[in-house]
Amino acid sequence: MKSAEEYPVPELFDRSSYRALVEEIQFLAHQYYVLDSPLVDDAFYDDLFRLLQRVESLHTDLRDQDSPLKKIGGEISKDFSPVPHDPPMLSLDNALSLEEFLVFDERIRRETGQSHPEYHAEPKYDGLAAEILYLEGILRKASTRGDGFTGEDITHTMRTVANVPLSLRKKPGRLLIRGEVVMKKQDFLDLNAELTEKGKKNFANPRNAAAGSLRLQDSSVTRSRRLTFFPYSVTSIEGFTLPELQSDIWNTLFPELGFRPGELSFRGGREEVLKHYEAVESSRSELPFDIDGIVIKMNSLKTQQELGTTTRSPKFAIAWKFAARAGYTRINSIVYQTGRTGVITPVANLEPVTIGGVVVSRATLHNQSQMEKLDIRQGDTVEVIRSGDVIPRVVRVVPDEKHASREAPVFPTHCPSCGGPLVKEDIFVRCPNPDCSGRVVAQIQYFVSRDGIDVETLGEEWVQKFYSAGIISDAADIFALTKEQILPFEKMGEKLAAKIIASIHSRRSIPFAVFLRSLGIPGVGSHIAQILSENSGNLETLLAMDEKELTAIHEVGPATAKAIAEFRDNPRNRNLLEKFRKYGVELISPAPKKDSSFSGKTFVFTGTLKKLSRTEAAELVKERSGRVSGSVSAKTDYVVAGEAAGSKLEKAEQLQLTILTEEEFLSML
C-alpha cells in the first residue's frame, strides 16, 4: 500500500499511476465495506480519495467507469426508464407454518427421487430486490424488480451503495446478479430522526426507506442513507464456470467477485433446516437488518434446473416466513370502505400501537363474516398482527367484563360512498353501482399505485383530494392535471406540485402490458397482462377479440375472457380509453417476434445438454414464439432429453409424448 504522499503530484499522473490509485482505493473499500476488516485509518483513506479527486479534475481523459468517485453520487436522473428482465424475476411461494414447509419437502423428495435432499437456507432480507448487469467486470446497469418482467433503471443510485463494486475483482465477460438492497435498523432510526427535525414525513419501516432511497433522482442523497446490497443469485455468467452448489455460490463465488454474501446462510437436510429456522427466528431481533423468514433452495444447481419454474415462482425454492408479530390495542371505531370492485371492507381504527418497529393505527377486518365471527365491538381490546410482517389485521378480541355491554356493529345495507343498496355475493357484500364514487376513487388509486403504472408522489390521499375537488373524475384525468390546478391544495408546495406533474408526465408512455394490468380488470394481473400483450400486440387488436378468441390464448381462462369482454362493452370504460388517447397517453407495443415457427408448442427440457445450456435452449424456443414449461403434462408437445434425464423423461414415456435428443432439437432450429 502507498500513502497519498508516495504517489506523483496530480499534475504528473499517467494512466499507470491513475489505475494504481483507483485499485488501491477499491481494495481498501472492499476490506472495509465487504470484509468488515479495515486496514488503514480514515485519514489515510481520505487522503487517497482527495488525491483521486484532484487527479480526475486535472486529467478528465483518465477517468474510468469504475472510478471510486462515482460512489460519491450527485448524478441526477429524471427518467427511471424501463429495464426488461430476462429471465423474469419471479416471486417465491411462501410457507407460513411447519406443515407447509413439510409439504414442500415431500414434493421435492417425490419429484427428485431423493430420500434426503440437501437444502441451502438463506436469510429473507426485508428490502428491495434489484438486478445488476456487469460487462467485462464493470457495472453497466442496475434495475428494480418492478413487476418481475420489467423494472426501473436505478443505475445512478446503485453506484452509490457502499458495498456494490463498480469493478469486479474477477471479471467475467458478462454477469447478471440479483440481490436485496436493505437499510440497517439503526440507520433507519437515524434517518427518521433527521426527517422529523426537518418537518418531513417519516418512512414506515426500513424496507420502505431502502426502496424510496434507491428511487431518488439525486444519487448523492441515496449515498447519505447508507444502504447495503446482499446478492442471492447469479442469473447468468460468461467466462466463468458456475459451482455445482448454491452454497458454493454464496461462500466462494460471491466473495471472489467482490460481493459481501448475506449472513446466516446454511446447508443441510430437512432436520438441520428446522433447527436453523428456529435459531434464526429466536435471534432475529438482535440482527442489524430486518428479516422476515428464510429462503430454502435445493442446494444442487443441477436439481434446480431440472425442477424448473411455474409461471410465477421457482419449484426448487420456498420462503418460510416467520410467525407474524403481534400487538394489543383498543378499537376506537369501525369504518367501511368501498373497493375498486365494489366490495365493502370493514376497517378498524386503532389506538396506535408499535408492532415490529412500525406504528399501526388501522387494520383490516376482511369481511362481514369475519367481523361477526370475531364478535368485535368498538372499545374492545384486540390482538393485531402484521401478517408476513406487512399487512396489519385483527385476529381476536381479548375478553373483558364490558365486552357484552358494548354495542355490536351493524354492517351497512347501503354503500358508504354512494348510498346505493348493497348486494350479498357469497362472503362479500358489494356495491353494484359502477359509478359509485368510492369505487371510482379506488380504481384511480390502483391505477397510479406501484401495482399500476406507478406514478411517484401521487399517493392515495392526493387522489382522494383531487377527486373530491372535482378536478379528476377517472384515471385518464390525471394526465390533464396542471401545476396551477393542484398548487392551491393545503400542504401542496411548489416543489411537490412540480414533482407530481413531472411524475405524471413521465408515465405518458406506458408499456402495453403495464397499462392492461393497471386497468384492474378481474383476472388480469402482471402475468396474464404480459401474455395478452404478446398475443395481441396492441389495444385495438385485443378489444376486437371475442371471448372464444381470448380463451384460445394459452393461460387465459373463460372467466378472464368474460371479464375482458365486459370491460370492453361498458360505455364508461370505452369513454375512459378514448380519454387516455385524447390526453396523449402512448401505449408501447411489445417487440414483434421475428420467428413464430414454434407458436403454440410447449417444450420441456430435462437432463444435461452438451452444446447449449438449458437457459440458452429455452431462450431459442421463446424467440420462436414457443413456450417452455418446467413440468411434463399431456399438453406438452416436446420433451428434450439430455444426459442423466430423470423423472420427467419417465413421465414423458408414460404419456407417449414426442421425445427429442439434443441433436434432434438443434435440427428443428
Active site residues per annotation: 124
8 Å CB contact between 667 and 344: no
Closest CA to 412 of 342, 341, 336: 336
Question: What is the rounded (10 degree) CA torsion for 509, 513, 514, 515?
Answer: 70
Question: Which residue is listed with cell 369475519?
Answer: 370
Q: Which residues, 6+ apart, have CB-to-CB distance to 106 below 8 Å?
A: none
3-state secondary structure at position 661: coil
- Count other Cβ atoms within 10 Å, centred on residue 470: 7
> Beta strand pairing status for 627-628 and 602-606?
parallel
Here the cell at position 293 is 423468514
In the chain, what is the straight-line distance between the N-terminal and C-terminal CA atoms, in Å? 55
3-state secondary structure at position 328: strand
Question: What is the rounded (10 degree) CA torsion for 56, 57, 59, 64?
Answer: 30
Distance of CA 425 to the CA centre of its chain: 33
Question: Which residue is listed with cell 454477469?
Answer: 175
* CA angle at 526 for the pair 522 and 531, rounded to the nearest 5°: 95
Find the length of the chain. 669
Cα separation, 541 vs 592, whole angstroms:
14
DSSP assignment of 88-131 equals --PPPPEE-SHHHHHHHHHHHHHHH--SS--EEEEEEESSEEEE
Radius of gyration of the chain (CA): 27
Strand order in the sheet with 119-125: 94-95, 317-321, 291-298, 119-125, 266-268
> Beta strand pairing status for 82-84 and 150-152?
antiparallel
Here the cell at position 544 is 376486437
